[in-house]
């Protein structure tokens, strides 16, 4: 029992890293643009399917394939922002963004169902079903690789946001769109690129998701509800919060699955959100807004 709990914690941290990456994209989009991207779930699945197609039809290793899928999703993100999000009026952007991205989501779901059918698939590679034996624990290679990749990309994202001029303008837009515009930042361009980046990270997350789970297009519902729970728990717009709560939630879920039952693990996941929010309505690191409406 003791060993399996420790193993569950390690697994939770490793998968939590991947979820952190996907959630960071969602929270970035929210922070900069004040919109909720419901399509984030289907973008993850789209990323998974792209990696799957590349590895099945072209024999490209999923990790190598990221060089294609990440730019592809970046461009799709730019297109969605330019085509739909930017056309929303200021007043009710948030509510309308939920509807627009949901519409985008069901269109992609339909296209994916037509292209790949609704049968579950999984990405295969030599490391998918292997595991290493370290200090008495069995750790799946794919989890380790996924965690490493997520860590690299998160560091890259951090460097982009905190070490570049572009990052400074993103953070300015994150704090206050109007003020950012006043000091000469092209907020529209920053928004478009941020949306692209926020979507692009799902390609990497999706690849790991597709290698560790059998998936089809409707897996997106489960994904988006988890990702939303993670970013809300961390505090909308807070990157650090997203990281922490992703790891916290996934560890909690894995431990509950071992200690109690896998059936209730998901319920505990959402119950944790409810409990935390009743104590801290803005999440772990959310900015308390004086006048929220």
Partner 1 sequence: MPPVAAARPRLVVAGAWAAFAVLLGLFPVVFTNPTVTTIGVFTLVYMTAAVAWNSFAGYSGYVALGHAVFFGTGAYTMALVSTHWNFAAGYTMFALVPAGGVVAALMAIPFGLIALRTRRHTFVVITIAVFFVVQLLAFNLGFTQGSSGVQVPTPTWGATQYNNSFYYVTLGVLAFALAISAAIRRSRFGLQLLAIRDDEDRARGLGVKVQRVKLLSFMVSAVPVGMVGAIYAFFIGQIFPQFAFDPLFDVTVALMAFFGGLGTLSGPLLGALVLEPIQQYLTLQYSVGSVYLVIYGALFLLVILVMPRGIVPTLAERVAARRERTQAARLVGEDPGVPPVVDVGSPVGASR
Residues that bind partner 1 (CB under 8 A): 30, 36, 84, 87-89, 94-96, 98-100, 102-107, 109-111, 113-114, 118, 217, 221, 225, 228-229, 232, 236, 263-264, 266-267, 270-271, 273-274, 277-278, 281-283, 286, 291-293
In the complex, the smallest distance separating the C-beta of residue 272 from partner 1, rounded to whole angstroms, is 9
Nearer to partner 1, 121 or 277 (CB): 277
Identify which of residues 60 and 88 has a Cβ nearer to partner 1 in the complex: 88
Render 89-118 in DSSP notation, one character per residue. -STTHHHHHHHHHHHHHHHHHHHHHHHH-S
Residue 278 Cβ, how far from partner 1 at the closest point, in Å? 6
Of 102 and 137, which CB lies nearer to partner 1 in the complex structure?
102
Q: Are 17 and 147 in contact (CB under 8 A)?
A: yes
Q: Are 127 and 144 in contact (CB under 8 A)?
A: no
- In Å, how far are 176, 178, 185 from 182, measured between CA atoms? 10, 6, 7
Q: How far is the CB of 32 from partner 1 (least distance, A)?
A: 14
For partner 1, give the closer residue by CB, 25 or 286.
Answer: 286
- Spatial distance between the Cα atoms of 245 and 16, rounded to a whole number of angstroms: 9
Q: How far is the CB of 37 from partner 1 (least distance, A)?
A: 11
* CB-CB contact of 20 with 158 (8 Å): no
The count of other CB atoms within 10 Å of the CB of residue 221 is 15
């Amino acid at each position: 029992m003791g060993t399996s709990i420790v193993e569950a914690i390690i697994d939770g941290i490793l998968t939590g890293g991947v979820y952190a990456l996907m959630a960071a994209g969602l929270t970035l989009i929210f922070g900069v643009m004040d919109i909720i991207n419901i399509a984030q779930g289907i973008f993850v699945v789209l990323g998974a399917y792209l990696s799957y197609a590349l590895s099945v039809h072209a024999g490209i290793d999923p990790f190598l394939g990221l060089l294609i899928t990440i730019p592809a999703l970046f461009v799709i993100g730019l297109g969605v922002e330019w085509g739909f999000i930017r056309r929303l009026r200021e007043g009710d952007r948030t509510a309308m963004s939920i509807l627009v991205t949901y519409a985008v989501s069901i269109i992609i779901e339909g296209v994916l169902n037509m292209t790949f059918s609704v049968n579950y698939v999984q990405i295969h590679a030599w490391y998918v079903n292997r595991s290493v034996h370290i200090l008495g624990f069995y750790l799946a290679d794919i989890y380790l690789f996924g965690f490493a990749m997520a860590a690299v990309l998160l560091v890259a994202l951090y460097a982009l946001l905190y070490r570049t001029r572009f990052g400074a303008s993103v953070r300015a837009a994150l704090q206050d769109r109007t003020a950012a515009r006043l000091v000469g930042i092209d907020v529209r361009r920053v928004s478009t690129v941020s949306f692209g980046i926020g979507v692009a990270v799902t390609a990497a997350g999706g690849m790991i998701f597709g290698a560790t789970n059998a998936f089809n297009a409707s897996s997106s519902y489960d994904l988006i509800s988890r990702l939303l729970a993670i970013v809300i728990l961390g505090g909308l717009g807070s990157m650090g919060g997203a990281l922490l709560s992703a790891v916290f939630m996934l560890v909690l879920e894995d431990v509950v699955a071992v200690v109690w039952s896998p059936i209730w693990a998901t319920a505990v996941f959402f119950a944790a959100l409810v409990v935390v929010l009743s104590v801290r309505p803005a999440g772990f690191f959310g900015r308390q807004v004086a006048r929220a409406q």
